[in-house]
Homo-oligomer: A and B are copies of this chain.
Amino acid sequence: MLKDFEQKKKEDKETLGAELKELRQLLLSQQQLLRDAKLPVIVLVEGWAAAGKGGLIKELISEIDPRFYQVVSPAILPEHEMRYPFLHPYASAIPENGKILFMDSGWMENTVRKYLHREITHDEYRRRVRAVNEFERQLRDGGYLVLKLFLHISKDEQFRRLTSLRTAAETEWRATDEDLWQHREYKRFVNAYEDFMEKTDATFPWYTLDAKRRKSAVRDALKLLTAMIAKALETGRYVGDPFDESFPLLPMPQLSEVDLSPTIDDEEYDKKLKKLQTRLSELHNMIYHRKIPVILCYEGWDAAGKGGNIRRVAYALDPRGFDVRPIASPLPHELSRQYLWRFWTRLPRSGHICIFDRTWYGRVMVERLEGFCGEKDWQRAYNEINEFERQLTDWGAVVIKFWIHIDKETQLARFTDRQNTPEKQWKITDEDWRNREKWPEYEVAVNEMLQKTSTKNAPWYIIESNDKKYARIRTLKIIVDTLEKACDDWLEKQMK
């Protein structure tokens, strides 16, 4: 009997070894196909402390070429990540097309742990779950494959592993106090993990692996991964459909209804400019002190006066506490990632002000009109952007969006002036003239954008800029008023 048992065990081990070898070979060959098909893959490995997340990842990557994968461990978040939205480290890490990202614990661990530590409220927990679902759906709709694994071990097994780490001097530090705390709170963690997995199972399902037996866990992970990739290679890159989601939208006028006649005389302008800049300067101190992040978005017609407007705002600010981010055409490494990636990685830290000179709305304007993305892509973008901006304001950010508006005649006059003034010529290019020819198409796109993305939490303001000075005073006033309110709200929240 015992002999048979030993024989069986030996055979099983050999079978497993052969299986592993085969699966690794398969993954190795899929890697090139992934590259050719430009498919990006994320493997999220979550699970218990000491369940062997790092070890599993090590086995998964052992055969593949380092040029095609990356491993990140946001579990050990650098301190500065505390000053960004909680999805920031994950959204910043998404891979390029054709590459695989292995994530050693991620948005689940971050959320569950903080919740059990009572560092976030139940409301905040629910908002995070929603944000996670939005994030995963956006990834899927943008063509990403995400495999979510949970490495499970029993409380007894965890005890054995933590004890064994603790007994050797060189590994002692690897069983952290935090891990021991989890062990003591094992039951609460079971419930919390289950709740989180249940609520985030819709877009990409969770797979629980028995991590007690390390090799078979590796085999199971490899099976899931290669199967997911094989299927995607067969069906091709997924493009998500537009979807409905109700956001509290503000009514917006059509551009053609906007009265562009308002002006301001020079004396009043100088007086108001100075007053508003002084106040903004004070508010910047308060914002900085209260760690409120502020995001100012500028969009508008060419030659509408965005640059000059931004300069008047910037002049009131302490350069240590703000940045202007000019958004040009995406670079190759930006183009090969989900389109919001280059904005996730450009967010301000809490307490800082970030002025975007053009924004993520390029998706529903230039990218729509020039065909840089598919129809479904820009149609989906309205809601994706609303979700993104809600994640920003949930984080505590103030988000204000300006459409700097002029009429066609004013644009022509300014273009001509630029053309005829040597030191302004660099500001005018053939592309500007080409864009001008597409004014009617742009007007349709801008109107649709304003209608669909002016939310209560991140409103659009149409700024009449035929008179640039009038426009500057108006934007400054809106910024000052909004920041006053944000400071008041902050105070109120503190007193609760």
Contact of A319 with B71 at beta-carbon distance under 8 Å, contacts A32-B423, A66-B355 already known: yes
Contact of A173 with B319 at beta-carbon distance under 8 Å, contacts A67-B357, A80-B78, A426-B35 already known: no
Establish whether residues B171 and A285, one from each chain, have CB atoms under 8 Å apart when the complex forms: yes
Contact of A66 with B319 at beta-carbon distance under 8 Å, contacts A28-B423, A333-B331 already known: no
For A426, list chain B residues within 8 Å (CB): 32, 35
Contact of A58 with B319 at beta-carbon distance under 8 Å, contacts A285-B174, A314-B66, A423-B29 already known: yes
Establish whether residues A285 and B326, one from each chain, have CB atoms under 8 Å apart when the complex forms: no
Establish whether residues A307 and B65, one from each chain, have CB atoms under 8 Å apart when the complex forms: yes
- With an 8 A cutoff between CB atoms, is A449 at the interface? no
Q: Report Cα–Cα, A116/B331, bound state, in Å.
A: 44
With both chains docked as a complex, state the minimum distance between the C-beta of A63 and any C-beta of chain B, in angstroms.
7
Establish whether residues B63 and A311, one from each chain, have CB atoms under 8 Å apart when the complex forms: yes
A59-79 interface (Cβ within 8 A of B): 61-63, 65-67, 70-71, 73, 75-76, 78-79
Q: Report Cα–Cα, A137/B250, bound state, in Å.
A: 56
- Which residue of chain B has the shortest Cβ distance to A77 in the bound complex? B80
- With an 8 A cutoff between CB atoms, is A104 at the interface? yes
Q: Which secondary structure characterizes the binding site on chain A?
A: helix
- With an 8 A cutoff between CB atoms, is A324 at the interface? yes
- Which residue of chain B has the shortest Cβ distance to A105 in the bound complex? B320
With both chains docked as a complex, state the minimum distance between the C-beta of A356 and any C-beta of chain B, in angstroms.
10
So how many copies of this chain end up in the complex? 2
Establish whether residues A73 and B319, one from each chain, have CB atoms under 8 Å apart when the complex forms: yes
Establish whether residues A311 and B79, one from each chain, have CB atoms under 8 Å apart when the complex forms: no
Contact of A170 with B319 at beta-carbon distance under 8 Å, contacts A32-B423, A314-B66, A332-B331 already known: no
- With an 8 A cutoff between CB atoms, is A282 at the interface? yes
The one of B173, B311, B423 that contacts A62, using a Cβ cutoff of 8 Å: B311
Establish whether residues A62 and B315, one from each chain, have CB atoms under 8 Å apart when the complex forms: yes
With both chains docked as a complex, state the minimum distance between the C-beta of A123 and any C-beta of chain B, in angstroms.
29
With both chains docked as a complex, state the minimum distance between the C-beta of A311 and any C-beta of chain B, in angstroms.
7
For A286, list chain B residues within 8 Å (CB): 170
Q: Report Cα–Cα, A61/B355, bound state, in Å.
A: 15
Q: Report Cα–Cα, A355/B328, bound state, in Å.
A: 33
Apart from A75-B320, A102-B319, A174-B285: 10 A-B pairs, beta carbons within 8 A: A28-B423, A54-B318, A54-B319, A57-B319, A58-B314, A61-B314, A66-B311, A66-B326, A67-B326, A79-B80
